[in-house]
Amino acid sequence: MRRLFPLPALPTDPSTPPPAAGDPVRDREWGLDELADAYAYPERPHSASGAYLRANMVSSLDGAAHHDGRSKPLSSETDMRIFGMLRGLADAVVVGAGTVRKEGYRPARAREAFSTRRAALGQPPAPAIAVVSASLELDFSAPLFTEPLVPTVVITGARAAEDRVAAAKAAGAQVVRAGAGPSGRVDVAAVPTALAELGYTRLLTEGGPRLLAQFATAGVLDELCLAVAPLMVAGDAARIANGPLAAEPERFSLASVLEDAGFLFTRYCRIYP
Ligand SMILES: NC(=O)c1ccc[n+]([C@@H]2O[C@H](COP(=O)([O-])OP(=O)(O)OC[C@H]3O[C@@H](n4cnc5c(N)ncnc54)[C@H](OP(=O)(O)O)[C@@H]3O)[C@@H](O)[C@H]2O)c1
């Protein structure tokens, strides 16, 4: 893997030696610590909620967010490494119920590689998974709810069926209501605050596209880590954000680009007005 952006200043002296081993622009294996340093959460989030919401998504060259309903065919070993590393930095992973059902989500695991870093920040050994769902049509007997290291959070709206709420709680989930509207939907703008109130401020959303579209248009998405896979899939799969049109296109600035085996690992941060 090598860094394509930002590049160090070009040497003006032709006798300058080539980049040393460990230089980020050289094509080489990156250690997990080095990757984690490159993706560290900001110390002081911009939002008044105190939370910072980062998204991690993968897209094909032609914009598909999945192939035949799964994102794995678009991924690579390095993409999965970055996916795992981003989890290793997060307090909570926010995910839509559609992705939980399609991808068979399991609890996040504790990884030795991140234990010192997490302990120093006062984080539990693994991030909590926070599932956004209105219907609560979730399998509460699954390991996601019965075997997590940190209780799974279920974020739902005001009109969630009481028997489903009771089933979630009986399985050990923490149920949070975010959204008072009659639609019964979650007000996604309230999600970062709701999670910050549980002590989770380093947030990572893994989508899916319908949830990400709402975060983006609600103006609460601080960062997008977008992996561009060197693949064409055609078909009619959704893009990484599939939902209501933003009133105005929201501008992000490029923070970094890494490249590995033709995959581009981009990181864009929101520009605040
Ligand atoms: N390329 C990638 O990086 C990536 C990442 C993730 C997923 N994917 C792919 O995307 C597909 C699934 O995505 P998706 O867009 O259909 O699903 P999604 O965004 O993960 O989930 C949609 C579901 O989330 C819940 N939800 C979303 N917004 C809500 C709100 N405001 N209030 C209450 N509940 C809300 C609803 O659950 P209920 O129906 O339970 O109410 C809704 O049906 C899969 O094929 C997956 O493989 C790709």
Atom of ligand 1 nearest to the CA of 227: 3
Tell me the C-alpha distance between 164 and 136, whole Å.
6
Dist CA 226 CA 232 (whole Å): 16
| Phi, psi of 96, rounded to the nearest 5 degrees | -75, 150
242 CA to centre of ligand 1 in angstroms: 9
CA distances from 104 to 71, 87, 88, 134 (A): 12, 17, 20, 18
* Predicted confidence (pLDDT) per residue in 209-246, tens digit: 999 999 999 999 999 999 999 999 999 999 999 998 99
Whole-number Å distance, alpha carbon 103 to ligand 1 midpoint, is 10
Q: How far apart are CA 22 and CA 156, in angstroms?
A: 46
Checking if the pLDDT of 49 tops 90, the result is no
The H-assigned helical ranges of the chain are 32-38, 77-89, 97-103, 112-120, 143-146, 162-170, 191-197, 209-217
CB-ligand 1 contact for 211 (6 Å cutoff):
yes
Q: Is the pLDDT of residue 19 over 90?
A: no
> What is the pTM for the complete model shown?
0.95
CB 203 within 8 A of CB 195: yes
Higher pLDDT pick, 48 / 62: 62
Does the pLDDT value for residue 18 go beyond 70?
A: no
Find, among 215, 211, 213, 131, the residue nearest to 173 by Cα: 131
Indicate the residue type of 76: S
Q: Residue 171 pLDDT more than 70?
A: yes
Q: What are the φ/ψ torsions at residue 59 (nearest 5 degrees)?
A: -135, 145
pLDDT band at 23 (very low <50, low <70, confident <90, very high): confident
Q: Is the CB of 148 under 6 A from ligand 1?
A: no
Q: Is 16 exposed, middle or buried (0-12, 13-18, 19+ CB in 10 A)?
A: exposed
Ligand 1 neighbourhood includes 208 CB (under 6 angstroms): yes
Element (DSSP H or E) covering residue 132: strand 128-132
pLDDT of residue 46: 87
* Mean per-residue pLDDT, 142-149: 97
Question: In this predicted structure, what is the pLDDT of residue 48?
Answer: 86
Which of 211, 236, 240 has most ligand 1 atoms within 8 Å of its beta carbon, as the pocket-test mutant? 211
Nearest residue CA, atom 6 of ligand 1? Answer: 208
Other beta carbons within 10 angstroms of residue 130's beta carbon come to: 25
Q: Is any atom of ligand 1 closer than 6 Å to the C-beta of 67?
A: no
Cα separation, 128 vs 115, in Å, equals 15
Residue 64 has pLDDT above 90, yes or no: yes
Q: Is the dihedral of CA 25, 30, 31, 35 positive or negative?
A: positive
What local confidence, expressed as pLDDT, does residue 243 receive?
95
